[in-house]
Structure 1
Amino acid sequence: LNVINAIFVNDAMESTRTDHDLRMQGELEETKLMLERLTDIFEKMEMESSDSCSGEISDEAFVEQVEREEMKMQFALLGLHYTDGVNFFRLLDIDANNSVGIDQFVMGCLRLKGGALLIDNNILLEDTKSLVLSTSRELTKAIDNLGKHLQSVQERLGEIDRDNQDKTCDRQSRRSSRRSQRLVS
């Protein structure tokens, strides 16, 4: 009975290992096919754009290309769904130079593969990052203004303190001179 169980477990483990290897091979082939399709799409977009032969596609040319129904269908067949070309471009343009090269395009699309939900989450992430940067700049300005006002208040307090010291010195000086006059008289 133990021998039969051992044979059964061994066969199950081998079949699992083979199944895992087959899945890995399938995913590798799917990724290779997707790389080829994305490269073809990029080259087609580059040829049809005014930036032809530069190796990059500008933001305007990209948005113009991906807003076409034919292009939306090609991306949908690859499992990439987007709501608008501008946000799609923003997610791919990681160096923020207003253009994407083939590497940025292909790697960005592979990163975003997984449906509209993932792209929408990435758009939210980008919007949040932009909001944080904007808030940070505004806070820095507010802190700078507060620092200037604080410095102005300190300067005024210093002037008031000097005026009070001068008045105190004047009073003491007058008292001393009165005493001196009394003593002399």
Structure 2
Amino acid sequence: AVLNVINAIFVNDAMESTRTDHDLRMQGELEETRLMLERLTAIFDKIESEGTGTGEISDRLFVEQVEREEMKMQFALLGLYYTDGLNFFRLLDVDANKSVGIDQFVMGCLRLKGGSLLIDTNILIEDTRALVLTTSRAHQNAIDSIGKELKGVCDKLCELERDKQERNKKLRRFAP
């Protein structure tokens, strides 16, 4: 019985320790996210200050700025690695209007942070998806066009068959 009590005390202490560790991890993650938001906002402001001051960053300005070694290092410190600034921009520009605001920039970077090594793969997937959609539309249009042409050929064949049958009827009337 004494061993059961001692065992229960150890189990209880271990569970308390686990709860505390979980709370500490949650606080740490919240703090890390807050710091990342601050850093991303500062990076956005720095890039945007080189532009028109409209609160948006154009694709040209973005690529020009993020290809600089200083910017690559800042993004690397945040856990974002990329090989091509334009592909990085395309992943952030979710509405494809060739500019990103602070919300698209920050949320896009946070989204990519977990899979930052896959940025180029994400672009390839997006390009492939667009290509598949375009190709399937083109194929559907071709199938529709072929269907219309085939219907026209069938209609013409039916018309020729009717004409042939009418001629045969006329010939039979005159035949002995």
TM-score by length of 2: 0.90
Say whether the 8 Å CA contact 1:81–1:115 is kept in structure 2.
no
Please state whether the residue corresponding to 2:63 is helix, strand or coil.
helix
Which whole-Å deviations, capped at 9, do the CAs of 1:55-110 have from their partners, x for residues lacking one?
21121221111111111111111000011011111111111111111111110100
Match of 1:22 among 24, 29, 33: 24
| Distance 1:110-1:116 versus aligned 2 partners, 3 A rule | closer
Contact 2:82–2:117 (CA<8 Å) still a contact in 1?
no
CA distance in 1 between counterparts of 2:117 and 2:123 reads 10
Q: Which residue of 2 aligns with 1:182?
A: none
Contact (CA 8 Å) 1:82, 1:88: kept in 2 or not?
A: yes
**CA distance, structure 2, for counterparts of residue 25 and residue 57 of structure 1:** 33
Q: How does 1:137-156 map to 2 (within 5 A)?
A: 137-156=137-156
Q: Secondary structure at the match of 1:100?
A: strand
Q: Which runs of 5+ in 1 are unaligned?
A: 179-185
Which residue number corresponds to residue 104 of structure 1? 104
Counterpart Cα distance in 2 of 1:26 and 1:163: 87
The aligned amino acid for 2:44 is F
Count of aligned positions? 174
1:116 deviates by 4.0
Greater Rg, structure 1 or structure 2? 1
| Structure 2 counterpart of 1:90 | 90
Task: Indicate the percent of aligned positions where both proteins have the same amino acid.
Answer: 72
SS in 2 for 1:95: coil
1:6-17 mapped onto 2 (5 Å cutoff): 6-17=8-19
RMSD between aligned residues: 1.7
Runs of 4+ residues over 3 Å off in structure 1: none
Q: How far apart, CA to CA, are the structure 2 residues paired with 1:54 and 1:19? A: 44
